Chain A
Amino acid sequence: MDTLLQQIVNGIVQGSVYAMVALGYTMVYGILGLINFAHGEVVMVGAMVALSTILLLIGSSLPPLLILLISLITSIVVCMALGYSIERIAYRPLRKAPRLAPLITAIGVSIVLQNLAMIFWGREYHAFPPLLPNSSHMLAGAIITEVQILIVLVALGMMGGLLLLMHRTRLGRAMRAVAENPSAAVLMGVNVNGVISITFMLGSALAAVAGIMVSANYGIVHYSMGSVLGLKAFTAAVLGGIGNMRGAMVGGLLLGLIESLGAGYIGDLSGGFLGSHYQDVFAFFVLISVLIFRPSGLLGERVAERA
């Protein structure tokens, strides 16, 4: 088995998950200029709801794929409702307030979600039932599971779908108009509040899918899984250029590769001083370096400086 190739495969899979979550950050940022801190928690809720639905249905005689589909839909619906409520309750009333205010409510919302999840689902790690056929394949010397292949395909599919939505539909045009200039969009008859709600709901739907994918990959669900994932996905969005959808994809994949290659070789690079448990550190250093050297990200057109 080729280690380097294996690391690359793992990186691409992990990166696809980051990309899916990063899309949610980037959509909201593009339209409102706001970092939706609670987005990571929406991913967690998506995973948890799917888990509960599966556990409810798994005793029945339904075929596994149908169970998965039902749980996927439930989870998407719940997350969309959640995303809508977050925007209505925590962000909309503060749209004209100083910048600090929505940041603080966002933090508040994510703490509430995390602790509610802990109360509902408990502190323990839950096993995510393997519903998909999860056999492994050899791919040019590296092992890749079917779930992993599915993750990459779903991420690519969502990306393509979103780009089509943004550039080929009325809704997409309205979203771009609001992102460009909300007050002008109002004058042109765009329902700005509606567009913003839809953006949050779309981002949350993506988060639900990402939550299920990441749970299926690791086979584990936990109430705290959202915060670190959110932080990394945000890093991916910044790396690619926040507000830019292709950037979220590129940034996600790149961050996944950096992490997996970094974790694989950090021991050799530091002469055995640092081990692979420093994996989470890479995202942070990537974030800092991007902010220092290229705040607008790799594909960013918008200058990130200033309000």
Chain B
Amino acid sequence: MRNVLKHLTSKSRRSAWLAFVVLAIALLALPFFTDALLGHGWVRIMDFALLYIMLALGLNIVVGYAGLLDLGYIAFFAVGAYCYALLGSPQLGLHLPFWIVLPLGALLACLFGVLLGAPTLRLRGDYLAIVTLGFGEIIRIFLNNLNAPINITNGPQGISMIDPIRIGEFSFSSTHELFGVTFPSVHLHYYLFLFFTLLVIFISLRLEDSRIGRAWMAIREDEVAAEAMGINTRNIKLLAFAMGATFGGLAGGLFAGFQGFVSPESFSLTESITVLCMVVIGGMGNVSGVLLGGILLIALPEALRHGSGPAQQILFGKTIFDPESLRMLLFGLALVTVMLWRPVGLWPSNQRRRELAVENNATQL
């Protein structure tokens, strides 16, 4: 990467900067555009999309970089969300500030990741998949049932009236007037989540191109060879697993603060699969691919919600598939199809692109 940069002329560097500035302005202005063009519901959808993209990026470290299949990833999201909900709501009467609760949730998720990964990561990948699947279910069972005899999680009803995200005196749940522009709550959350998403992207990219990232990919490619080259595979895998869990917990905390309400049904296996689909369909191990996958898979259900009913009316004369089951059916088919015909995903990784570039140069010479 550094070599590539070195070879860039000052002109192309300037155009890179220009592209960066244009992108930044576009991202900042996006909520106002969607408000004006598509209507008011969309910024809220974008907020959730960003949370899911954060999750997908976190899972990408586990599945994409290190090649470990985690089927209960949403459980870490749940840990982060419930940590926030319990420490910042009337449920336990605690109202700890945002900047304590959020990192605490991420840390707790990390701890769960280590506890789960330590025994299973020395075994074959299949075991991790099934143990994480089980863990996802267990977390939900506990969340559903820890309301008696002592009410901790409030059971299936979930926890409501969660404290909004607040930094100092600045609350994200109310409308603010800044520089003469009105920022509704969903816009403020958009900027906050955008910040965290960019942070996660930054961390992912830096890790990808580092000694640790290379070790992850080596393990993904051939674990026996990686270990023979002196990589302590168990620790390095645990690191990937714990980092993925931490990002999951972080997104969970933001989710709880944004929605003001959490209940076990937000953390079902379906959600884990959705996040996995984002990573696999977009392109495992490639941040841009995962972003693309995230955007597509958030857009798909919206499209289905609006388009599948009428389309089926025209085709069959009635609605046979409800959008939700159609969505999951498509996700399942997509997982199989992608693995069979395009295992690199829709957007192949940098390495693959670099390779293509090298081959093109070779043919030109």
Contacts and interface: CB of A to CB of B under 8 A. Distances in A.
Interface of A: 34-35, 37, 89-90, 93-94, 97-105, 107-112, 114-116, 118-119, 227-228, 231, 234-235, 238, 272-275, 277-278, 280-281, 283-284, 287-288, 291-292, 295, 304-307
Contact of B123 (A109, A114, A284, A295): A295
Given A34-B126, A292-B119, A115 B67 contact: no
A278 B142 CA distance: 8
B124 A111 contact: no
A116 B138 contact: no
B340 A94 contact: yes
Interface in B102-129: 119-120, 122-127, 129
Given A112-B329, A278-B141, A291 B120 contact: yes
A119 B129 contact: no
Given A105-B336, A105-B340, A287-B131, A281 B138 contact: yes
Given A89-B340, A105-B336, A295-B127, 10 more contacts: A37-B129, A99-B126, A104-B335, A107-B332, A108-B331, A108-B332, A115-B325, A119-B321, A284-B134, A306-B223
B141 A277 contact: yes
Interface residues of B, number: 49
Interface stretch (B23-31, B143-151, B162-170, B295-303): B143-151
Interface of B: 63, 67, 69, 71, 119-120, 122-127, 129-131, 133-135, 137-138, 141-142, 144-145, 148-150, 220-221, 223-224, 269, 273, 276, 280, 320-321, 325, 328-329, 331-336, 339-340, 343
A228 B137 contact: yes
B331 A280 contact: no
B65 to A, nearest CB: 12
Contact of A116 (B144, B221, B223, B329): B329
Nearest to A89: B336
Nearest to B272: A107
B321 A112 contact: no
A227 B269 contact: yes
Contacts of B340: 89-90, 93-94, 105
A99 B125 contact: yes
B67 A112 contact: no
A114 B268 CA distance: 15
Nearest to A306: B124
Contacts of A274: 145
Given A108-B339, A111-B328, A307-B224, A275 B135 contact: no
A99 B66 CA distance: 12
Contacts of B339: 94, 97, 101-102, 104-105, 108
23 contacts: A89-B340, A97-B343, A98-B221, A100-B220, A103-B125, A104-B280, A105-B339, A107-B273, A108-B333, A108-B339, A110-B332, A112-B329, A112-B336, A114-B332, A115-B332, A277-B145, A280-B141, A281-B141, A288-B120, A292-B119, A295-B123, A304-B127, A306-B223
Contacts of B129: 35, 37, 103, 107
Contacts of A228: 137
A118 B141 CA distance: 23
A300 B141 CA distance: 31
Contacts of A114: 328, 332
A20 B187 CA distance: 55
Given A107-B276, A115-B325, A273 B119 contact: no
Given A103-B69, A107-B71, A108-B336, A234 B141 contact: no
A281 B146 CA distance: 13
A72 B125 CA distance: 36
A116 B149 CA distance: 39
Contacts of A306: 124, 223-224
Contacts of B144: 277
B336 A288 contact: no
A238 B144 CA distance: 27
Nearest to B221: A98
A99 B320 CA distance: 36
Contacts of B138: 280-281, 284
Residue among B149, B220, B336 with the most chain A CB within 10 A?
B336
A287 B325 CA distance: 31
A100 B125 contact: yes
Nearest to B329: A115
Contact of B135 (A34, A112, A284): A284
Contacts of B276: 104, 107
